[in-house]
Amino acid sequence: ERFKQLYGAKCPDVKVPDVVWDRTRKRILTMTWLAGRKPRELSPQEKLLLVSRAAPCLSLQLMDAGFIHCDPHEGNMMLLEDGSLGLIDFGLVAQMTSVHQESMASAILNLLSGDYKALEAC
């Protein structure tokens, strides 16, 4: 719910399931079902579409409010029938501090530019 509140309007091509509160417990998160195809089942063009939906949303999580989905691997993403990205498994999310956000952004930029010596140990 928090993810939708923070990023729903900013990531209109990303869908997340709703929480089913009457079936959710302290250690069990129950959500509605999203039907789609996993990245391994997609054509090269469909994979590019999936990436074009995922990259802005995942970047926004880091750069905006810092509330992030901590497990965004290919098993937790799917292409839905309407061409949107389905993002699932919100069992592990985190609120990053501004220091962590800046450190992560710096690390990503250093990796992209090949400046590996600029990476600092945490």
**Residues labelled catalytic:** 71
Q: Which residues lie across from 28 on neighbouring strands?
A: 25
Q: At what angle do helices 98-113 and 44-63 cross, to 10 degrees?
A: 140
Distance CA(81)–CA(42), nearest Å, equals 12
Alpha carbons 67 and 46: distance in angstroms, whole number: 27
Encoded tokens for 80: 């839905």
CB contact burial 91-102 (16+ within 10 A = b; e otherwise): eeeeebeeeebe
Place of tokens 């129950």: 30
